Structure 1
Amino acid sequence: MFITFEGIDGSGKSTQARLLSEALRAAGHDTVLTREPGGSPGAEEIRRLVLEGDPDRWSAETELLLFTAARRDHLERTIDPALSAGKIVICDRFADSTRMYQGLSRGDLRATVDKLHAMMIGREPDLTFLIDIDAATGLGRAKGRQGSEERFEDFGLELQEKMRAGFLALAREFSARFRVVEGDRASEAIAADVLAIAQSALAEAAA
């Protein structure tokens, strides 16, 4: 099963992806925890290009090509081999983030994103968790990390609000695989809900 986590910056999705991987591994499942952009050596190199530096470093069109290149390498070298080996792949962000950040953020590129995804990736997750949180709260958390990968956070609150609304719309569009989880709670409470949903999905897949 291919499980992804989505949400605005600072939503806590990375923590929840890790906690789910740990819980499923403890229950006897063989899991692979990965991330985007990144997840393979080549994709990690591209990650540094797109997440660091000035906000205006790349146009949305150039970003789309870079993210797709990173995703293709990630798919070939990490995701597909793990799924073929019967493992559960848990990924922090996937194509839905590109549909939002490049397809929606600075222009109307959604059709281009979907066309390129169909041509070069051709895979959707089996289950996607959207960790939903207030945009201002998420941005405050993200900026509080004070890391080097803050290029998208530097676009400010307006982008985060637009992304939150966009992710919720995406969850309605792909309602068969999306599960929206309230993110403004203790991480343990969120993790318990996420685990219950994932276990139910795994049981259905095995039936």
Structure 2
Amino acid sequence: MSQIFDEVTIPARLAFGSTGGVERKTEVVELASGHERRSTPWAMGRRRYLVGAGLRSLDDMAVLTAFFEARQGRLRGFRFRDFADYKSCAPSGVVSAGDQVIGVGDGVRTAFSLCKAYGAVTRAIAKPMAGTVKLAVGGVETDGFALDAATGAVTLDAAPGEGKVVTAGFWFDTPVRFDTDRLEVTLDSFEAGRMAAVPLVEIRGV
């Protein structure tokens, strides 16, 4: 089933002060002997965030409320810029075309998908930021490609030769949705208030 997704990014100022990170799903079975068997049905971790808790301006709360209403609560997905992990390189680094290996040429294939490696785990990058993507074939940077910023697919003008490594650098957003259908605001004064933290959860398959 296709998911309803809006190609819009939640305003960056609403993300500052957010908390969050990666969650994993691990199933642990304790045997009678005291030993354990551990397994996971997830190939990749899932991101969760809390936003809005640091907001004090009623204007900013109104912006978040409007964004929440436009997404119809949990119904519609959107982009979120995780400032702790939004580049193909380290957060303090400068993106280069050699940051991430996205494939190896065979002389025929022209389509590749952006991804980012976390040790032995590879994360598909479905929501790159248009205008930031750099590509190299065999270590030589090229601008002969087309990007689908809604899927993370790149199509080269010419198929890389056999064994040519294709690499990429980019900024990206995390596809998320609200994980609640309710917002709560406390009015502290005429022009200030507090908002309960609003949960976001990463969505897959978009």
- Give the alignment's TM-score, normalised by structure 2: 0.25
The structure number with the bigger radius of gyration is 2
Higher strand share: 2
Q: Which has the higher helix share?
A: 1
Using CA pairs under 8 Å that are at least 6 residues apart, name the structure with larger relative contact order, 1 or 2.
1
